[in-house]
Chains A and B, each alone.
Chain A
């Protein structure tokens, strides 16, 4: 399906720490906005894909927006690992002829009851992800990633300065993006080093934001895309991965815990591409936590294992650097919507409309969560 489908519309709501609107209304607003951007009527939509964590059902979305007869719908699990798989599966359905115009979206409110991490926690915890970790006080995703980060630092000599490079790069990009919730806030290396711990060795600024908002994209065939108003963002290749013996987040029970899902995803992605990591002009790397960006740089082949930290030195992941990363500010400084705003920004880069535009960007990579079953998309401009 290489280059056979394209994202032709993008839409976002306002991003904020707290919005009045419901997740349902935010989803409808973002999807309507993406369809308007694409120049397509809701009645033409016949495909839908979303995260399994999405709180609004497909029937509700379709009925409200006035979709036509929907002939493809799918959901992808694993929270922040889902995003690229959601868009990729919708595109695959278009390529396979199961639908012709598909929408994919994520709407999330951190204040919503379902997303409060400790609402309704019982004293007894089940599931293999929780039973063996939670009783000992490994309670939050940040604690799970802190364990992996400390081992990474031990094995490869990673430093807090490397993690700071990720946080500062995102903030510098956000400072140029009016839609970023942290756009008006300056962060210095001293600010980073002085921030309070959340789970050592990770501090407040190693964590993503908590955001209310929604994003959506519209996907159709590359052929049709060329008749629509926006420059197409071709899906050059995409991949998902749930690697052998992986256990989501608490991936401590395998031979090589630091080799996460990114590696298997990258193998598939590059095998389906005409190009390799050296040809990528700009990347949106999933950043719920700063170390995930460093692991993803290694996993997707931009450097060797253990070299992800130094790769970020001297502005390496900022505009003008080796590989500009998270050019909207990403999950750490624009908005955290389980990575869907990263997908929107990856599309902007091939359109040439980012507020931190990489000049003549042709290949634009976006990845979903590292540390969980994941996905990635390599977009290509149509020229």
Chain B
């Protein structure tokens, strides 16, 4: 990555620096038979230390309630940490929240930041004004986003009429409109079908390749991490359980994708590329279960290899559930 030297200090070159970050929520729950409420402290983030260089792409995964969204809220200045330090793009997020907002783009998959009653295009006009983009700069950027995210068909429709997938693409465009240096996505592919997911991932890769942004995303979909990230961080109960390159993560945990093909004619052995191997042959040679590494081998390449040996009647593909991988890590106590 060709990044200009920002500053002499190391921490200014980091996109994100979290040191011993902790966050408690105080919850007051009613007690049966009493008018007083019980005060309870929920520790959402316990001890997270994480340094992300500019230009890195990090997948931040973990079970429900592990503390991912809370961490993101502390990174974006929405929440003050209970203890520990946060620096994002060299800034302290809470006091410098509005400055930081100019430099980062955030998508909360569960919430919309678009204007519900307005045509989608108008949301970008408003956001452009908020980010002080000139009309020309905004239109140029929007053109690029509309082409990459395929928004053209519904730019003039009110947001409330959009399907979930269309709206989510609109949300991503809203977060990227001001060309942020750091892109933070909290479950950007939630509720999307495979085609929409792939489209979104493809554009995020393109945009990153063009602008060299830093990407930080949480997801429950291993496919997102596989396609978008080169580093994976697993959180468990508010602490970092694993932090490392995606490649080694995948290697240690074995090839996580599985392809099942049914052949027209029985065949005992299929010769496969090195990144794939046969798990099982069933139904007298008709059904083959093949495990392969999604990073080293694409499905079309694999199918071409199989197709040259036998005719394929039917096939199915299973994405590895990120929960399974995370569970493996949890069960090993965080060590691989």
A complexed with B: no
